[in-house]
Homo-oligomer: A and B are copies of this chain.
């Protein structure tokens, strides 16, 4: 982009303010805010009135504005804005993970058709430059897996639980009070937010545009004191881990809580920080960590995208269709399943049961099960059941195990 960056901002909430702060203190980047479209005209603002408008067309039809920065909450409205902007040749920077994950294929086509970049580094793990690294540095086809803590809100809650011996409800309330969890925490706690991020990372890791509904997400809402004590007795923490991994020509992916040993790099990622492990054929692993939320880290990632536009940077999606990979749920995963009534769990689904425990109120099993069958089971959504992936978990394609340890079920039936 040879001309100076002239910004049209949609939204001036937490991220917008963060961007304004960061932009204001960064001499190196020549970008100017021209206009800001907001939903509520009566709020008092930190900038003069003439910057603000309620009419999106004042930005979209303004030929002076060459970059639209979309930072609003509503994914459907955001998508309309982004589409209009791309179609009119304006570059777009967005932090809206749900909007991107839900419309990835179409957004990809629009970028190609109108030859205009859409950048969204801030949409996944805020300040960690993971998309840029997957896209640029790991641009060949040797990536084996990307997994990590993609949600700062639940990580803050889990840190509170383990560091301060709180139960889930108390930790959630404290996270809300500290501004690290939303009033309606569903998207975070039920692992939708990290799933959207995982979809974005899937595109840049394996070249797959996956509908978020295809990906199994299971949150921490059913975490009980029993589960927490189980983890502590073993010296584990519990982290909400998003993963995607290549097994032969299949890609497996999901977001579930996981027991994590102290030597796992993710164990040290606390509070609102995110951490990402990247496995590749030749480097073994790489680890990235940084703040996964907050106005300034997110604003800083948005600014980094704006800066990249000054030298005509765009995602090339080089991995798209390079490999004929497809998502599969047809693999074995080892899980801990805690329940109040054993008969509510269909044990015949398990190919292998390693441990079983029962007391007066509850019990658990540790065993291997097909990921697809776990997801589709009748009992997974019971409020008196909780599922956590084993610390020792090895992912194996179903057809590779060949073992159905049916006899083990005898003693449990």
Is B297's CB under 8 angstroms from A282's CB? Answer: yes
With A140-B307, A316-B311 as contacts: A127 and B286 at CB distance below 8 Å: yes
How far does the alpha carbon of A61 sit from the alpha carbon of B132 in the complex, in Å?
36
User: Which residue of chain B is the closest to A305 with respect to CB atoms?
Assistant: B137
Nearest CB on B from A304, distance (A): 5
- Check A215 for interface membership: any CB of B closer than 8 A: no
User: Which residue of chain B is the closest to A262 with respect to CB atoms?
Assistant: B268
Contacts of A316 in B (CB 8 A): 311
Nearest CB on B from A162, distance (A): 15
Contacts of A128 in B (CB 8 A): 286
- Check A373 for interface membership: any CB of B closer than 8 A: no
User: Which residue of chain B is the closest to A140 with respect to CB atoms?
Assistant: B28
Is A137's CB under 8 angstroms from B304's CB? Answer: yes
Is B127's CB under 8 angstroms from A28's CB? Answer: no
Is B136's CB under 8 angstroms from A308's CB? Answer: yes
- Check A141 for interface membership: any CB of B closer than 8 A: yes
Is B286's CB under 8 angstroms from A287's CB? Answer: no
With A129-B133, A268-B268, A288-B288 as contacts: A141 and B282 at CB distance below 8 Å: no
Q: Mark A217-244, 1 if CB is under 8 A from B, else 0.
A: 0000000000000000000000000000
Question: Which of the segments A19-27, A175-183, A253-261, A402-410 contacts the partner chain?
Answer: A19-27
- Check A318 for interface membership: any CB of B closer than 8 A: yes
With A282-B127, A283-B296, A316-B311 as contacts: A142 and B288 at CB distance below 8 Å: no
With A283-B291, A290-B285 as contacts: A141 and B28 at CB distance below 8 Å: yes
User: Which residue of chain B is the closest to A295 with respect to CB atoms?
Assistant: B282
Is A322's CB under 8 angstroms from B28's CB? Answer: yes
Is B285's CB under 8 angstroms from A287's CB? Answer: no
Contacts of A26 in B (CB 8 A): 140-142
- Check A413 for interface membership: any CB of B closer than 8 A: no
Q: Please provide the chain A residues from 267 to 304 with a CB less than 8 Å away from any CB of chain B in the complex.
A: 268, 280-291, 296-297, 299-300, 303-304
How many residues of A are in contact with the other chain, CB < 8 A?
50
How far does the alpha carbon of A2 sit from the alpha carbon of B239 in the complex, in Å?
46
- Check A56 for interface membership: any CB of B closer than 8 A: no
Is A286's CB under 8 angstroms from B286's CB? Answer: no
Is A28's CB under 8 angstroms from B318's CB? Answer: yes
Is A288's CB under 8 angstroms from B286's CB? Answer: yes
Contacts of A300 in B (CB 8 A): 142, 280-283
Nearest CB on B from A82, distance (A): 23
Contacts of A167 in B (CB 8 A): none
Is A304's CB under 8 angstroms from B139's CB? Answer: yes
How far does the alpha carbon of A382 sit from the alpha carbon of B29 in the complex, in Å?
49
- Check A173 for interface membership: any CB of B closer than 8 A: no
Contacts of A311 in B (CB 8 A): 316
With beta carbons under 8 angstroms apart, the residue of B138, B139, B290 that contacts A287 is B290
Is A132's CB under 8 angstroms from B140's CB? Answer: no
- Check A265 for interface membership: any CB of B closer than 8 A: yes
Nearest CB on B from A284, distance (A): 6
What 4 pairs across the A-B complex have the smallest Cβ distances? A127-B283, A282-B300, A286-B290, A287-B289
Q: List 9 A-B contacts (CB under 8 A).
A: A27-B141, A28-B139, A28-B140, A28-B141, A28-B322, A265-B268, A283-B296, A284-B290, A286-B290
